[in-house]
Amino acid sequence: MLDNYEHFLFYREVKCLIADYDNCRHLPTKNELHNQIVLLTKVLKNE
């Protein structure tokens, strides 16, 4: 179970990944960013 600070860190990381995803033009990197966003979002939803 995540405490409030860990939850905040995950949320901030997702926001940064989404910003990077929007600016990325290299497809393999964009796919990896998408995978990380999905994984972190699942972790946040399960808490």
pLDDT in tens, the chain (47 residues): 678 898 899 899 999 999 999 999 999 999 999 999 999 999 888 87
Structure confidence at residue 1 (pLDDT): 65
Q: Which amino acid does the sequence have at 34?
A: H
Gap between the Cα atoms of 31 and 34, Å rounded: 5
Q: What is the model's pLDDT at position 34? A: 96
Report which DSSP code applies to 40: H
CA gap 12, 32 in Å, rounded = 18
pLDDT at 43: 84
| CA angle (6, 29, 24) in 5-degree steps | 90
**pLDDT for 10:** 86
- pLDDT value of residue 3: 84
d(CA 10, CA 19): 14
The pLDDT value given to residue 6: 87
Q: In Å, how far from its chain's centre is CA 15?
A: 6
